[in-house]
Homo-oligomer: A and B are copies of this chain.
Amino acid sequence: MSTLDGRKRVVISNVAPQVEDGRYPAKRAIGEHVGLSADIIADGHDAVAASVIFRHESEQTWHDLPLSPAGNDRWEGTWTPAKEGFYEYRFTGWIDHFASWKRGLIKKFDANQDIAIELRIGEILLREAFEIASPPDKPAFEAWISAFGNATDPQETFDLVVSDALAVAMAKIRFTDRISVFDQTFRLEVERKKAGFSAWYELFPRSASEEPGRHGTFRDVLRLLPKVAKMGFDTLYFPPVHPIGEMKRKGKNNSLVPSAADPGSPWAIGNRFGGHKAIHPELGTLEDFTELVAAAKELDIEIAMDIAYQCAPDHPYVKEHPQWFKWRPDGTVQYAENPPKKYEDILPFDFETADWQNLWHELKSVIDFWIGHGVNVFRIDNPHTKAFPFWEWMIGEVRKTNPQVIFLAEAFTRPRVMERLGKIGFNQSYTYFTWRNSKWELEQYLYELTKTDQQYYFRPNFWPNTPDILPHHLVEGGENAHIIRFILAATLSSNYGLYGPVYEYGVNTPHPGKEEYTDNEKYEIKHWDWDRYSRTREIITRVNRIRKAFPALQSTWNIDFNETNNDRVISYTKTASEGGEPLLVTVNLDHDHTQGAHIRVPLHHFGIGYDQPYLIRDMLSGEKYKWQGEYNYVEMNPWEMPAHILRVERLN
């Protein structure tokens, strides 16, 4: 009881955002807003006031963000943090004696009760405020105190009590010794813009050669850079570029019996030429790689590297650090397995090794090495099969000195595991979008991602395909389905990616019985004619241009779904909460047939009245329509253009 100040009567609880009770920071990218809220109450009937105080890690002083009551004792405020790095924030609340007094006085005045004593109480409250008011406000307080003290005309004094000038001055007063501060300080991690807004393109450099049959090189990729830039991608992601294991190498279509010419899977990392810090000799040299990174940067493209923490049997680590692997009683290293299946070309690290500290440092040094060569974006292969404490430590350490580094988690696994990876530091994550097709699935999944607490730690990156996954609907729906799934990915999520050029050319022959590409590029070198026309590519180019022009498409959280009366037509508004103007998107989910629907336009988002005509401009087709009221008809032919991305303009 001695240290407790029992006079602080305001109680704060159920604070948001918070991730695992403050164990992890909430996350936002530059430009994104965050809603702050808490339950804030006091005993009795006195007026309560509340604010959030916050400061950037580089600052000494706190800023004050007043909160407003949102009903049922919830208090809310909106904040758009301005700087990268960590902020800390605290919720505060206090009894607002002046507001209580003012409320009571108004009621008494309205009931024609005598307010003489009330005015004397008010004068006392003003004198208290005067003591701590800022110097520029002090003269005004002096005038009010004098007016209260010499009140003669009740109406005149009442007008002063309810005046805006007094309200504004009092709103600045903080009796810090009377303020309740929630016992926990929370953190918000503000990431660079790219963490929240990116368009990824994945290609195999070894397939980049202009001559069929020749192994592609980084120099070949140089030639493709302008084409990738023209499509509008800002992140070019390569599967692992390290030496590929020669022992137990897999052949075409994952065959256990490779031919001598088979190039092997890039994810079987390491051979006599080196491991995770080496370049596969056939791709070129380390200098070629850094040159490519620099050339890409000129085109506003970042190279993203694939980090797969696993070894081919001939990776140098196996001999140099045998203690990092599990050994079987027959003297062999434990390979990856999912009994009864065996993956003998892959040796996992043993994260329970007694030498775990050296293992962790070595794995981190791989990231440091590539940062040193200009890479700031890493796609992490199967992070869910490596120990969580390692990721938490590694990502934390890397971002402490290199906060610009972005980690994308390639975890296609159970919900709690994927969520965890976000909490412990991954900046982006692959998602279940790949398998969410129907309207209700998409709406439900986007709700989970953007309206629940997941928004604070799990940042989605939507991929319609990957070298590992050819979903059934891309097989069934052909080019139209490729276009629909791309538009959904690129407008539902501000981060998305695709694996090309198979995507632009609609390559979609599945391996029998599997959700995978047959003759998979993972096991063989392909050759692509980049000059061949592709409708998909044309639409990708248009949509990426629109994404760059409109801030509404540069955040994922600002989505509201619109009612439609056809389950094959989905519609959503990307609101203006992150700046710019709101956009209206409609997509036909049927890859075979034209579908139409009445959609309900959320007029309030566009500042349009119910009886006011307005102009709709489709940025995909260039067409214009005049609409009025909430319900309007759209129709989309998947053989031409399966979507509208609409600007909405008031007509005067």
Q: Is the CB of B356 within 8 A of A7?
A: yes
Evaluate contact between B6 and A360: CB separation under 8 angstroms: yes
Contact pick for A72, options B14, B357, B415, CB 8 Å: B415
Q: Do A124 and B329 contact each other (CB < 8 Å), given the known contacts A9-B352, A357-B1?
A: yes
A39 contacts partner chain B, Cβ-Cβ < 8 Å: yes
| Residues A117 and B328 in contact, CB atoms below 8 Å apart | yes
Band of interface residues on A: 35 or more
A72 & B414 in contact (Cβ 8 Å cutoff): yes
Q: Determine if A9 and B388 form an interchain contact, defined as CB atoms under 8 angstroms apart.
A: yes
| B117 lies within 8 A of A417 (CB) | no
Contact B414 A73 (CB under 8 A): yes
Quick check: B416 and A41 within 8 Å, CB to CB? yes
Q: List 29 A-B contacts (CB under 8 A).
A: A1-B357, A6-B351, A6-B357, A6-B360, A7-B353, A9-B388, A9-B389, A13-B20, A13-B420, A41-B414, A41-B416, A41-B417, A41-B420, A42-B388, A43-B388, A43-B417, A72-B414, A72-B415, A72-B416, A95-B352, A104-B337, A104-B339, A107-B339, A108-B339, A108-B340, A110-B340, A111-B340, A113-B340, A121-B329
Other 12 A-B pairs with CB < 8 A, given A13-B420, A110-B340, A120-B329: A6-B360, A6-B387, A7-B387, A41-B416, A43-B385, A44-B384, A72-B415, A73-B414, A103-B339, A107-B339, A111-B340, A120-B330
A7 with B351, Cβ < 8 A, contacts A73-B416, A108-B339 known: yes
The answer, yes or no, to whether A445 is at the interface (CB within 8 Å) is no
Residue of A7, A8, A9, A337 ringed by the most chain B CB atoms within 10 A: A7
> What's the minimum C-beta distance from A337 to chain B, rounded to whole angstroms?
7
Q: Complex Cα distance A23/B12, Å?
A: 12
A362 at the interface (CB under 8 A from B): no
Q: How far is the CB of A381 from chain B (nearest CB, A)?
A: 13
Copies per assembly: 2
Q: Which residues in window 78-135 of A have CB below 8 A to B?
A: 95, 103-105, 107-108, 110-111, 113, 117, 120-121, 124
Instruction: Find out whether the CB atom of A384 lies under 8 angstroms from the CB atom of B337.
Output: no
Q: Are B384 and A6 in contact (CB under 8 A)?
A: no
By a CB distance below 8 angstroms, the chain B residues around A120 are 329-330
Within 8 A of B (CB), among A1-54: 1, 4, 6-9, 11, 13-14, 20-21, 23, 39, 41-45
Distance in angstroms from A64 CB to nearest chain B CB is: 23
Known contacts A43-B385, A339-B104, A384-B43: does B329 contact A417 (CB below 8 Å)?
no
Judge whether A297 is part of the interface by a CB distance below 8 angstroms.
no
Q: What are the residues of chain B within 8 A of A108 when measuring CB–CB?
A: 339-340
Q: Given known contacts A124-B329, A352-B9, A414-B73, is B45 in contact with A338 (CB within 8 Å)?
A: yes
| Cβ-defined contact, B6 with A389, below 8 A | yes
Asked if A390 lies at the interface with its beta carbon under 8 angstroms from chain B, I say yes
- Min CB gap A129→B, angstroms: 16
With a CB–CB cut-off of 8 A, which chain B residues contact A21?
21
Does A11 lie within 8 Å of B356, measured CB to CB? Answer: no
Q: How far is the CA of A41 from the CA of B416 in the complex (A)?
A: 8
Residue from A113, A329, A330 having most chain B Cβ neighbours under 10 A: A329
**In the assembly, what is the distance between CA of A527 and CA of B340, in Å?**
85
Task: Name the residue of chain B whose CB is nearest to the CB of A348.
Answer: B44
Q: How far is the CA of A45 from the CA of B336 in the complex (A)?
A: 11
* A375-400 contact mask (Cβ, 8 Å, vs B): 1 or 0: 00000000011111110010000000
Q: Which A135-171 residues have a C-beta within 8 angstroms of B?
A: none
Neighbouring B residues of A121 by C-beta, 8 Å: 328-329
Contacting residues, chain B, for A352 (C-beta < 8 A) = 7, 9, 95
Q: Are A8 and B414 in contact, CB atoms less than 8 angstroms apart?
A: no
A residues 402-417 with Cβ under 8 Å of B?
A: 414-417
In the bound complex, do residue B44 and residue A11 qualify as a contact, i.e. CB atoms below 8 Å apart? no
A275 to B544, CA, bound (A): 78
Instruction: Give the top 10 A-B pairs by smallest Cβ distance, nearest first.
Output: A111-B340, A107-B339, A120-B329, A73-B416, A104-B339, A21-B21, A44-B385, A9-B387, A7-B352, A6-B356
Bound Cα distance from A385 to B46, whole angstroms: 10
Q: How far is the CB of A566 from chain B (nearest CB, A)?
A: 32
Contact pattern, A 344-363, Cβ under 8 Å of B = 1, otherwise 0? 00000001110011001000
